[in-house]
Amino acid sequence: MRRITTSVSTLTKNVTSWLQVEMEDQSLDTSFEFGFDGINHGLVMSIDNHCHSLFDLDDDVNGDLEEKNRCFWATQHQGLETNVYKTSSLETKIRNATKEAINEIESSAESGTLCVCSRKMGGTSCRICLLREVSKRLQKAGFNSAICKTKWKSSSDIPPGEHTFLDVRDNTNPKKGEVRVMIEVNFKAEFEMAKGSDEYNKLIKKLPEVFVGKEERLSNLIKILCMAAKKCMKDKKMHMGPWRKQKYMEAKWLGPCERNTSITSLPIGYAERIITKPKSRASMLTIDLLEKLPTLHCTTVKVL
């Protein structure tokens, strides 16, 4: 009842303000009546609609929820566009150089050029070699580029993991100090979801395939996208994987990292491609017998 009384009071105020506006705009006299021809018809319909929704509390609740959803996604889109499309001159220079480097590498891959690990450099089949080639070209263009590797331990919220990407450190402006620009060559794919909602997918479509931006800009995008992912999973009544949480994404790019400026040695690449041999599960007695008694011949016995 309190909600209905409040809504009635609000409706009365709205009707009064509408009447004042209509009378001022149209210079109406005191013989104004509802429900007749001309401009008054739309006003009557509007009041009727408000009165209908006033006593239909379920529809009113649903309407409020829909409005909140619209506001949420509109805010996410606005925040994403601000951080993606508005960039500094330094970010633009590095972005253009990165795109040019990737285009050259893809052209080489299409022509059959192989990287040091005998794989084509295009696509995601050889990420570390792609990063190295991009970093090498950025260094030749005069940028202090390096391959960065983050590694984090498991916690109560997120599982352990590691990630490689590029960054550029710029010290050309003494007043600003060192500026760090992050480069992620597979940015959009990091946030794509197979079962994402329509609103979430619309947001992800606005992301660039390759992200080039300052550290604080990336931090803002992580917050926006992780909030959107959480909202998406909640609306779909689905569990959100820990690898999609904000803390996990921040550990990927914003955590402590090892920075490697070398473009010739392959410590990171080899480390990622080395496959550790599993320890033998055979009995030590069996190993000793096979090594010390090589001439021993065993006859197969069928067990009945």
Q: What pLDDT digit, counting tens, does each position of 98-136 carry?
A: 999 999 888 876 655 556 565 554 444 478 889 999 999
- Interval 44-88: pLDDT, tens: 344 344 443 443 444 455 668 889 999 999 999 999 999 998 889
Do 236 and 135 lie in a common domain?
Answer: yes
Q: Is residue 44 in a domain?
A: yes
Do 106 and 241 lie in a common domain?
Answer: yes
Do 123 and 220 lie in a common domain?
Answer: yes
Do 96 and 221 lie in a common domain?
Answer: yes
pLDDT: is 17 or 251 the higher one? 251
At 164, is the pLDDT very low, low, confident or very high (cuts 50, 70, 90)? Answer: very high
pLDDT score of 269 more than 50: no
Region 158-174: mean pLDDT is 94
Do 107 and 10 lie in a common domain?
Answer: no
Q: Is residue 20 in a domain?
A: yes
Q: Is residue 40 in a domain?
A: yes
Do 109 and 30 lie in a common domain?
Answer: no
Least confident of 44-58, 123-137, 140-154, 167-181: 44-58
Do 122 and 245 lie in a common domain?
Answer: yes
Structural domain boundaries, residue 50: 2-55
At 184, is the pLDDT very low, low, confident or very high (cuts 50, 70, 90)? Answer: very high
Do 47 and 96 lie in a common domain?
Answer: no
pLDDT: is 210 or 44 the higher one? 210
Average pLDDT taken over every residue of the chain: 73
Region 142-166: mean pLDDT is 94
Q: Is residue 142 in a domain?
A: yes
Report yes or no: 80 and 224 within 8 Å, Cβ to Cβ.
yes
pLDDT score of 194 more than 80: yes
Do 50 and 158 lie in a common domain?
Answer: no
Do 118 and 194 lie in a common domain?
Answer: yes
Query: How many other C-beta atoms are found inside a 10 Å radius of the C-beta of residue 91?
Result: 19
Q: Is residue 193 in a domain?
A: yes
pLDDT: is 102 or 298 the higher one? 102
Q: Is residue 75 in a domain?
A: no
- Which residues have a Cβ under 8 Å from the Cβ of 79 and sit 6 or more positions away? 220, 224
List, in sequence order, the alpha helices (H) in 27-88: 40-54, 57-85
Least confident of 88-97, 105-114, 170-179, 279-288: 279-288
Which of 208, 144, 135 is CA-nearest to residue 179?
A: 144
At 42, is the pLDDT very low, low, confident or very high (cuts 50, 70, 90)? Answer: very low
Do 149 and 230 lie in a common domain?
Answer: yes
Q: Is residue 68 in a domain?
A: no
Do 39 and 123 lie in a common domain?
Answer: no
What element of type H or E holds 95?
helix 89-110
Report yes or no: 203 and 231 within 8 Å, Cβ to Cβ.
no
Domain total of the chain: 2
Residues 210 and 105: their CA atoms lie apart, in Å, by 14
Residues 258 and 186: their CA atoms lie apart, in Å, by 20
Q: Is residue 194 in a domain?
A: yes
Report yes or no: 135 and 260 within 8 Å, Cβ to Cβ.
no
pTM (two decimals): 0.64
